[in-house]
Chains A and B, each alone.
Chain A
Amino acid sequence: MTTLPSSTTRKLGLVIDLDTCVGCHACVISCKGWNTENYGAPLSDQDPYGADPVGTFLNRVHSFEVKPEDSPPQLIHFPKSCLHCEDAPCVTVCPTGASYKRVEDGIVLVNETDCIGCGLCAWSCPYGARELDGAEKVMKKCTLCVDRIYNENLPEEDREPACVRTCPAGARHFGDFADPDSNVSKLTAERGGMDLMPEQGTKPVNKYLPPRQKDSWEGEVDVLAPFLAPVAEEPKGFLGWLDKTLEKL
């Protein structure tokens, strides 16, 4: 079971738009909420109201600063969760077969009743997508909300991962990368969707859309701009008197 399938029928995954993400962390909260109340062991917190709280999260939002050489620095919010890699190292290292990649849709899952909590899969993941739960002592990871996307008890618009459903900026997209006409495939092609750490050889399914280049005003001053020069150069009236009086003091 811990060998990887040679190919999967579908390749479900996410496109995350770094241009659009506003860093609100709503996806973090909705993920924690859904995955605590539904499939598998809840995502526990230790010392949640104390001085040193820690907890299990399947999705975390980092923020990075990028300093281009010729333009002002940019702040980029960066949500990170399991990338459901095609060559997932976390699957093959598992000694018990608890960690597996599904042939039908490519989702990487953990069978929690088989997990011995050795942590080796988390060691093997370059992205830090897996966390050992502090209470249940089993490995937790993004399931791509496998209990939502096929769930016919939910209204159709809710049959997508909780993080995608909740994103107020529309920065997260869910779809099938094996279908070249899917929304995620088109977005990836149009916007130059990229892999994280391609040198690690994991072939991530999830793609990140780079921030769009910001436009610049330099060299583009409007012909009417000189006429917009300030009209009152010296203060007059009461303010002028105040200015002069204060100057004399």
Chain B
Amino acid sequence: MHPAPSVIIFTSLSGLGFGLLTFLGLGYPDVSGWVAFVFFLIAFALAVGGLLASTFHLGHPERALKAFTQWRSSWLSREGICAVAALLVMGLYALGVVFFDQQWRLLGVLGAVLSVATVFTTSMIYAQLKSIPRWNMVVTPAMFLMFSLAGGALLGGQITAALVLLIFAAAVQLLYWQHGDGAFARAASTIGTATGLGSRGEVRAFEPPHTGTNYLLREFVHVVGRKHAQKLRVISFVLGFVLPILILFVHPGHLLALIAVLSHVAGVFVSRWLFFAQAEHVVGLYYGKR
């Protein structure tokens, strides 16, 4: 899949933002006044910034409101609704915490639940697609949720929680890579099933339909970046998990904590880039490519 910057920024940042909102809604860190204001500002900037980035790849963003209508069947629609609901509820909750020194518990918990639900619905947009076997796994939502919660705990300065969640997130990340590498083969789609000719002999793509490229090849058959995938996995894992976990172990000051956060965010970006760049769409089979 083409790793479009808009979707990488969207899933990474909004995941972190909603992760932080989850912790803020549950009352961790227990802050008020200006400190709370800064925490909420960061969380909303990440969540809203990510959502705005996601509209950049739309052909007709002016019709985006229509995307709230099909929640019965569409995960993308559900995500939009969850995101707006989470932002509204957490906005109200933030008003209470920042300006009235009130923690409206019920509202906060509801906001936290909606924030987690938003990340889950985001992950299901990808996990539902049978046409992309590497995404069509139970591990995909698990990975999105763990990344979001670990990042949220880290941003919220919850050292113990962050440590535990980062270790779990790292484990899920490894599981995702390990499980994902065999996903295409397990899906059992081959050039033989794609053409229906597999039972007659070895099938080979002989001539593509056009001499040039097309929308399908640009969007779904991205092979350029896969060359360095293993190295990028190591980089992503070290930046995203190993370094932050080491820093948290030595109980950091503010500067080290900032480094842990930045390192984690960079690691998440690389991981998300790989998430798209390594995903193979079965339509590539018709072009003899993956």
Contacts and interface: CB of A to CB of B under 8 A. Distances in A.
A, B bound: yes
B214 interface: yes
B254 interface: no
Sorted from nearest, which 7 A-B pairs have the closest CB atoms? A117-B59, A137-B59, A60-B209, A128-B283, A68-B201, A63-B207, A95-B77
B64 interface: yes
B187 interface: yes
Contacts of B106: none
Contact of A127 (B58, B204, B283, B287): B283
B56 to A, nearest CB: 11
Contacts of B193: 196-199
B216 A2 contact: no
B160 interface: no
Interface in A111-138: 114-120, 122-128, 131-132, 134, 136-138
Contact of B67 (A89, A96, A194): A96
A142 B76 CA distance: 24
Interface residues of A, number: 68
A36 to B, nearest CB: 16
A131 B210 CA distance: 15
B42 to A, nearest CB: 28
Nearest to A134: B215
A182 to B, nearest CB: 21
Nearest to A25: B209
B229 interface: no
Interface stretch (B82-90, B94-102, B124-132, B265-273): B124-132
B253 to A, nearest CB: 44
B200 interface: yes
Interface in A30-86: 52-57, 60-69, 73-76, 78, 80
A175 interface: no
Interface residues of B, number: 58
A208 B196 contact: yes
Contacts of B131: 89, 123-126, 200
A93 interface: yes
A62 B215 contact: no
Given A75-B206, A116-B58, A134-B215, A97 B70 contact: yes
Contacts of A28: 209
B213 A54 contact: yes
Interface of B: 1, 57-61, 63-64, 66-70, 72-77, 80, 125, 128-132, 187-189, 191, 193-197, 200-210, 212-216, 219-220, 281-283, 286-287
Nearest to A127: B283
A9 B164 CA distance: 56
Given A116-B63, A199-B189, 15 more contacts: A62-B205, A64-B197, A66-B200, A67-B204, A74-B200, A80-B209, A92-B73, A93-B76, A95-B76, A115-B59, A123-B131, A124-B129, A132-B219, A197-B189, A198-B193
A141 to B, nearest CB: 12
A94 interface: yes
B207 A62 contact: yes
A93 B208 contact: no
A201 interface: yes
A126 B282 contact: yes
Interface of A: 1-3, 18, 25, 28, 52-57, 60-69, 73-76, 78, 80, 89, 91-98, 114-120, 122-128, 131-132, 134, 136-138, 194-201, 208, 210-211
Given A116-B58, A128-B216, A137-B60, A195 B283 contact: no
Contacts of A65: 203-204, 206
B130 A200 contact: yes
A5 to B, nearest CB: 12
Given A3-B73, A67-B204, A118-B58, A201 B130 contact: yes
A151 B229 CA distance: 53
Nearest to B287: A62
A61 B287 CA distance: 11
Contacts of B80: 95
Nearest to A71: B201
Given A96-B67, A128-B286, A61 B57 contact: no
A125 B286 CA distance: 13
Contacts of B188: 199
B49 to A, nearest CB: 19
